[in-house]
A = this chain, B = another copy of it.
Amino acid sequence: MYSFSQVLRRAATVNGRGVATRFLGRHTTWTETAARVPYLAGALHTLGLAGGDRVAILAVNSDEYFQWLFAIPWAGGVFVPVNTRLAPEEIVYCLNQSGSRVLIVDDTYSGLIAQIRGELGSIEHVIHSSDQAAAPGCVSLRELLARSAPVPDAGRGGDDLVSICFTGGTSGRSKGVMLTHDNLVVSTLQWAFEIGVGRDDVILVVAPMFHLAGAINAFAAAVLAASACIMSRFDPRLVLQTVAGERVTKAAVVPTMLNAILAHPDFGSFDLSSLRRITYGGSPISDTLLRGALKALPHVQLYQVYGQTEGGPIIAVLKPADHQTSGPTAGRLASAGQMIVGTEIRIVDADDQPVGHDVVGEICVRGLTVAPGYWNLPEETRQAQRGGWLHTGDAGCLDADGFLYIVDRVKDMIITGGENVYPQEVENVLCAHPAVFECAVFGIPDDRWGERIHAIVRLREGCSVGRDELIAHCREHLAPYKCIRSVDFRTEPFPLSGINKILKRELRAPYWQARQRQV
């Protein structure tokens, strides 16, 4: 058995003088971090926290957020990081659904409390984690610390719950994924092994820490006794400046971020020589963007990471050696790589029967770090894990060499005239058009075909292109039944999920208002 507290103690023992966190120019060592955590845990004890109680966090990334991720388990609690991009009623849902007793908010979100306080059934205390005076409905952390004392590690670990992470909810209501201490430590170790990072790394944490894709970078800094360079918001220029200034060696981005960074006019004016590795994932990447990244960052090793909160979180990794833009293995660039150590993948048909090579079906996974299930949702857990395999909801296939090709979300599949079309394939073709900056493809109601393939497109600055040209471009590269039939152009940004996935659900809704879409 192992625990988050042991992770922290080890980091302080083997690299006490090392910089644990870098945040807005503030460097904090592992010794300092390990010294602070028992005080924060003491504040939770003052509020009556007991073993296994849930403590939610609603805050932007910061070094203090990082410390809470260790202080809550140290106090015996389970941390529930809340997606800050949710609407207030969705936040209330996560807090109530997790049965959290304590909520921690920062200056950015403390103002929300007065608005939602009355709807929070289980929350007994809201801590305003700040140097400022407490917001209405909150207790000030400073004042709380003044009447608390540091406490010893509560000693939970192993199979004890350490976190409940709510899924992004790009489709349907968000579910709380249960994660244990061993689960998160081993998955971080798997990740670190596959990516090849170690104690000397300065790991950029710019994806939000309320999502495992961001948080695993923070956990890795601790498990490896390395350094986490934490950013509270994504801004492409600020990322470039931070990488150069803090000599970041490893960054994790989602494709929309990568696109914005590479397209930034100041991209060439920063010294990015410290950067050795970039992991990307969280949503599909277009071939155009990927080739652009390989060209723009020739000294950086690129790793595509495929996973989901329930799934370990990492399921497959496409290694730098498999990022060939030409030659016999160039086709692998379109894949998500191979299953990582400690993980097994299989593809099944609609009857849950395994299919052969190159046949598309639902991606299922089992392995060392698959989450034990959804919090308080036994039926959803049973359904997702039927037959001992986690059903990811993603459609894909495995080739004869074990490379995984992800086609799309099973639920996003369009059925048009009896044919199955996965939007991602169409989006890939559209994004290859020089005028297209971003796009989203989905099915809309059609009396003749059931569903008709529709695209919403954002053009590159200064570019213009018409509907007919885009349709002709599709016809050049796709079977006729996969081609878009209609296009809407849009200038404002796409609605994004917490992890910067395009929220197709929101884009699609207006077209389906009149009728219920069949799933």
Contacts and interface: CB of A to CB of B under 8 A. Distances in A.
Contact of A14 (B15, B223, B402): B402
Interface stretch (A90-98, A340-348, A510-518): A340-348
Contacts of A189: 186, 189-190, 193, 341-342
Contacts of A193: 189, 192-193
Given A1-B368, A2-B367, A401-B16, A223 B341 contact: yes
Contacts of A163: none
Copies in the complex: 2
A109 to B, nearest CB: 34
Contacts of A9: 344
A45 interface: no
Given A1-B368, A368-B1, A344 B6 contact: yes
A6 B9 CA distance: 33
Contact of A186 (B15, B186, B343, B398): B186
A368 B368 CA distance: 12
Contacts of A370: 1
B339 A1 contact: no
A446 B370 CA distance: 61
A16 B186 CA distance: 26
A224 interface: yes
Contacts of A16: 401-402
A309 interface: no
Interface in A426-441: none
A288 interface: no
Contacts of A2: 342-344, 366-368
Contacts of A10: 339, 341, 343-344
A368 B338 contact: no
Given A366-B1, A368-B185, A402-B13, A224 B344 contact: no
A492 to B, nearest CB: 43
Nearest to A13: B402
A342 B2 CA distance: 6
A178 to B, nearest CB: 15
Interface string A387-414: 0000000000010011000000000000
Contacts of A451: none
A106 interface: no
Nearest to A197: B193
A310 interface: no
A6 B182 contact: no
A203 to B, nearest CB: 15
13 contacts: A1-B366, A1-B367, A2-B366, A6-B366, A13-B402, A14-B339, A16-B401, A16-B402, A185-B342, A186-B342, A189-B189, A189-B190, A189-B342
Interface of A: 1-2, 6, 9-10, 13-16, 182, 185-186, 189-190, 192-193, 223-224, 338-339, 341-344, 366-368, 370, 398, 401-402
The 4 closest A-B pairs by CB, nearest first: A13-B402, A14-B402, A14-B338, A2-B368
